[in-house]
């Protein structure tokens, strides 16, 4: 099984790339996020690879980081989610956003991915609810349980008083603090969190 490819980017196409490894061109399908992270041909690149063997083909799926590959593996364990739909989900939502969407039971976010209808979104949310908290994100796991005391918890309390639910508030605040830093003032955290929630 191929688990890693290092070579030159020979071509970038919609939904895939060709990686030239010692004169052999490997067609690798990938999310738009991974393809955007690749350099323009003929620069060197390295991709983590998930190999899928079928009766009629051997397919390679590439990932720029381990978190995206791990999410691909998890998504494809859900009934009705094949490799194509898993890549569509990962193109629409980053691993960090996936954790937040599942924690908040945000069906609409999942339905932004082509191929994910209402029924499949509900199935993804129910089957992945307990597993999502243990999954990696590209920049560290989100605190989906209690926030540390201080500005983060005060911001959460203020947003909950405004009518938001804790499962949607916690990931938003975590993203804001990750962006602004742990010393960000309370008003800035609340203001930016409201902007995150408005999306």
Residue 146 has pLDDT above 50, yes or no: no
Q: Which domains, from first to last, does the chain contain?
A: 4-63 (2.40.50.140), 66-132 (1.10.150.20), 151-198 (1.10.8)
| Rg of the Cα atoms in the chain | 19
Region 142-164 average pLDDT: 68
User: For residue range 95-128, what is the model confidence (pLDDT) as tens digits?
Assistant: 888 888 888 888 998 999 999 999 999 999 999 8
Name which residue leads in pLDDT, 171 or 80: 80
- As a whole number, mean pLDDT of residues 57-69 equals 92
Instruction: Report residue 160's pLDDT band, with 50, 70 and 90 as the boundaries.
Output: confident
* Torsion, CA 175, CA 36, CA 70, CA 26, rounded to 10: -170
Q: Is 64 exposed, middle or buried (0-12, 13-18, 19+ CB in 10 A)?
A: buried
Length of the chain as a residue count? 199
Q: Would you state the pLDDT for residue 137? A: 59
Angle between the N-to-C axes of helices 166-180 and 151-161, in degrees from 0 to 180, rounded to the nearest 10: 140
């Amino acid at each position: 099984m191929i688990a890693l490819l290092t070579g030159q980017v020979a071509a970038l196409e919609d939904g895939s790339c060709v990686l030239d490894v010692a004169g052999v061109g490997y067609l690798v399908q990938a999310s738009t996020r991974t393809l955007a992270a690749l350099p323009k041909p003929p620069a060197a690149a390295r991709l983590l690879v998930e190999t899928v063997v079928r009766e009629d083909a051997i397919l390679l799926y590439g990932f720029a980081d381990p978190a995206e590959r791990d999410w691909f593996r998890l998504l494809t364990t859900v009934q009705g989610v094949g490799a194509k739909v898993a890549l569509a989900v990962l193109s629409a939502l980053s691993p960090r956003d996936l954790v937040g969407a599942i924690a908040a039971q945000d069906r609409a976010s999942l339905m932004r991915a082509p191929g994910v209808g209402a029924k499949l979104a509900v199935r993804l949310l129910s089957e992945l609810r307990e597993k999502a908290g243990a999954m990696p994100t590209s920049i560290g796991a989100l605190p989906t349980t209690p926030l540390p005391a201080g500005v983060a918890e005060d911001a959460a309390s203020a947003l909950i008083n405004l009518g938001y639910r804790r499962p949607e508030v916690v990931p938003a605040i975590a993203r804001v603090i990750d962006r602004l830093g742990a010393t960000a003032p309370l008003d800035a955290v609340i203001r930016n969190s409201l902007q995150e929630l408005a999306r």
